[in-house]
Amino acid sequence: MAARQGGGGAESRRAERRGSESRGPERRLPDRTVATNRRARHDYSIEETFGAGLVLTGPEVKSLRAGRATLSDAFARVDPSGTAVWLENVHIPPYEMADLRRHEPTRPRKLLLHREQIERLIGKTAERGLTLIPLKIYFTRGLAKVELGLGRGRRQFEKRQAIAEREHRREIERAVGARDHRRG
């Protein structure tokens, strides 16, 4: 009797359960955004962005998974000792099914960053007068993360100028799109 090729026996089933390489390319779930700080890009000119992990309690994670969080007045600060970065004024409402007595919606939350990143942030925020602003909270591979922006506050005339530039770009894109549409 000839040996079967490709094998359909117990060994191949075990390999499937283990997650062998023969399974094909790994499917990656896209990042799921929970909350965005739309005012941040209007009020600040963002020079650099980076991601950081969040230290949360169980009910806070459940509340975030339900898509409930507000970043409107939030900011991040580096601890004076230079050992940690804290996220302040992020409002995560209590999860309905959890114990509501111990939940503090706007408590300071610790951010998880490498020591080198924290040292770099200390230098940039102290020297050049930059501010740490949370831009969005999202989930990546089941972990809650926050995207921080290092930005400089805009004055009123700079905000108007940025709006005018954005509208001008949109008009140009609209004109180019209309021209291409007529040709096609």
Three state DSSP letters for 17-84: HHCCHHHCCCCCCCCEEEEECHHHHHHEEEEEEEEEEECCCHHHHHHHHCCCCECCCCEEEECCCCCC
Q: For 113-170, what is each residue's pLDDT tens digit? A: 899 888 888 888 877 778 889 999 999 888 889 999 888 877 777 778 878 888 888 8
Let me know: does 74 contact 88? Beta carbons within 8 Å. yes
| 141 and 168 share one domain | no
Q: For 26-77, what is each residue's pLDDT tens digit? A: 555 567 888 888 887 878 888 888 899 998 888 888 888 888 888 888 888 8
- For 99, the domain range is 29-153
Q: Is residue 35 part of a domain?
A: yes
Is 6 or 36 the better-scoring residue by pLDDT? Answer: 36
Q: Is 123 helix (H, G, I), strand (E, B) or coil?
A: helix
Number of domains in the chain: 2
Q: Is residue 12 part of a domain?
A: no
For residue 56, what is the domain's CATH number?
2.40.280.10
| 79 and 147 share one domain | yes
Q: Is residue 148 part of a domain?
A: yes
Task: Find the mean pLDDT for residues 97-104.
Answer: 75
CA atoms within 13 A on the CB side of 15: 12
| 96 and 181 share one domain | no
Per-residue pLDDT at 21? 47
| 143 and 159 share one domain | no
Per-residue pLDDT at 146? 92
Q: Is residue 6 part of a domain?
A: no
| 110 and 159 share one domain | no
Q: Is residue 40 part of a domain?
A: yes
Q: Is residue 107 part of a domain?
A: yes
pTM value? Answer: 0.66
Per-residue pLDDT at 147? 92
pLDDT(98) > 80: no
pLDDT(110) > 70: yes
| 91 and 170 share one domain | no
Residue whose tokens read 């990546």? 140
| 38 and 117 share one domain | yes
pLDDT(178) > 80: no
| 134 and 172 share one domain | no
Per-residue pLDDT at 138? 92
